[in-house]
Structure 1
């Protein structure tokens, strides 16, 4: 039986690399596109070390439309999982045009090439940022999509709209997975979150502070209307998140989708505050994290955690790993660096 060949864009990134490992484990043939703008080639070696398989890798910037077209002419692809995008909220506020070009133009070129080559299965890496500060918690897929707090969040909303419009006029089946906060690393410590420069996310900042690379961690705001005054998020282990992509892909390949475009929240259903995460990290790893309270950050919301019932029921997917599993794997990965 022929193996399905899956294109993973941004496949050497944090979530992309873990998804590639899960795809290989399930017997898919994988080709990775990455421009290496926010990762390193060593990640490919990590994937090989875990999988015993070296997936095909093509260094390509998706902003180069003709090269994207040439890629699809040369490869017979059965489905696309699209991670490649710029993803820092703060940077997007400072450089909106970079984000609109990198996250929107590339999506358009990808969909155009898919249409030309009759590739009809597409999974989009979306985000819970599309909900803004939701009126009700936990957040279901029926929650209104609110005006984005940042250009990054806006690119995810616009991306979903572009895909939805495209499904109406071409043979395209799509699933948008709206991630909550992915953390952790592969248990082997061969791959993990590897931010270039100063981390934009909480956990790499926690691990780098604990390792003495950063002097202290800034906790942005302790005056939120939450249990301890710090912002609450739904932290999901990256391996659980990667497995959600496998479930979504199988749904499309088997034609089990109930609409041309579907949306699923991917989280644990449990909210943890920043201070709770720091405490859990210290307990899981027997190490201290030096932190200080700082002013709130622009664009940050008070609380967000997922209602995952739809993904549980329709995708047959459940988060299996807990916060401490994720935090101990993140620390193991940090120490390996």
Structure 2
């Protein structure tokens, strides 16, 4: 297939692009590099031994997006592009609705213009909100509690209504939990801009010496060690889930939803202890007050994905930490600063093939 991947230079996107290339698919990428680097795709191309075509485009640029679809004529789209920081979404909600919801509307219009109606959407377990009915299953009521989560929920509902209105559409909403880890080569991984919003990259930066200590939000939860428990999933398993969903959609119309998680949780202290053990480094931490809206535990039931997609998570916490540490050691400052937005296609091609 020819698959167009939005946000394909990002953390999850780049690992998925690599697996698509390794399976023989043709890949086009659109990315505005607001939280990514073209260096990730240069390394992906090197690992795959073949190249994805990368374009510097914002989904809010409807005219340019429509032109790219007319030029590439993809068979399917995997949609990762979007803003994802919960805290920022609370302080700048309009920015999130504009980028995530309007950007998706523009994408759907561009797809319809070339009769491309197969879409895998990168949703999130945040659509479940603060539900304590564990494990979370696909039929658990959705009740997103912050603007970021609500943009994901609005998009899910929009896609469900689109598929119900037109049987030509085949759509997957993938709700995944806490992506972590990196490629086993250590060449691609998570490179957050500024202060990491998620636990694992923050712990990694403490272990490498970029940050002083980990702040653990809450030590008095009703869990084994008093800290919050989350379902961490290896990014390679997550990428494989997107390819499994894409394969399923080739034979199945309508809108479908799957959780992607391991089905088990790990506490904050378990993650810190695993990182200290694997890295051989001290990982200082301080327990501070709980954050508003955090729940004690959150983990998936991914049985539906196993039964329908033939997919299940294969990597445990130790492997997630080992791969994350290998990436962090080899790339202590990430991919490095590259001002890629606004590069012409020719400039990107020169960079990718240098």
How do 1:1-337 residues align onto structure 2 when only pairs under 5 Å count? 4-146=1-143, 148-170=144-166, 171-253=168-250, 255=251, 257=252, 260-337=254-331
Q: Secondary structure at the match of 1:269?
A: coil
Contact 1:216/1:291, CA 8 A, preserved across alignment? yes
Contact 2:219/2:226, CA 8 A, preserved across alignment? yes
Report the alpha carbon displacement of residue 224 of structure 1 after superposing the two structures with TM: 1.8
Contact 1:133/1:303, CA 8 A, preserved across alignment? no
Contact 2:132/2:295, CA 8 A, preserved across alignment? no
Normalising by structure 2, report the TM-score. 0.91
Q: Secondary structure at the match of 2:172?
A: strand
Distance 1:95 1:216 in 2: 28
Normalising by structure 1, report the TM-score. 0.96
Report the alpha carbon displacement of residue 138 of structure 1 after superposing the two structures with TM: 1.1
Report the alpha carbon displacement of residue 42 of structure 1 after superposing the two structures with TM: 0.9
Gaps of 5+ in 1: none
Contact 2:218/2:226, CA 8 A, preserved across alignment? yes
Distance 1:319 1:34 in 2: 27
Report the alpha carbon displacement of residue 22 of structure 1 after superposing the two structures with TM: 0.6
Distance 2:104 2:295 in 1: 27
Distance 2:99 2:220 in 1: 35
Displacement over 3 Å in runs of 4+: none
Contact 1:185/1:329, CA 8 A, preserved across alignment? yes
Contact 2:26/2:52, CA 8 A, preserved across alignment? yes
> Which range moved further: 135-144 or 21-30?
135-144
Distance 2:30 2:294 in 1: 31
Distance 1:121 1:192 in 2: 27
Q: Secondary structure at the match of 2:107?
A: helix
Report the alpha carbon displacement of residue 168 of structure 1 after superposing the two structures with TM: 2.1
2:352 alignment counterpart = none
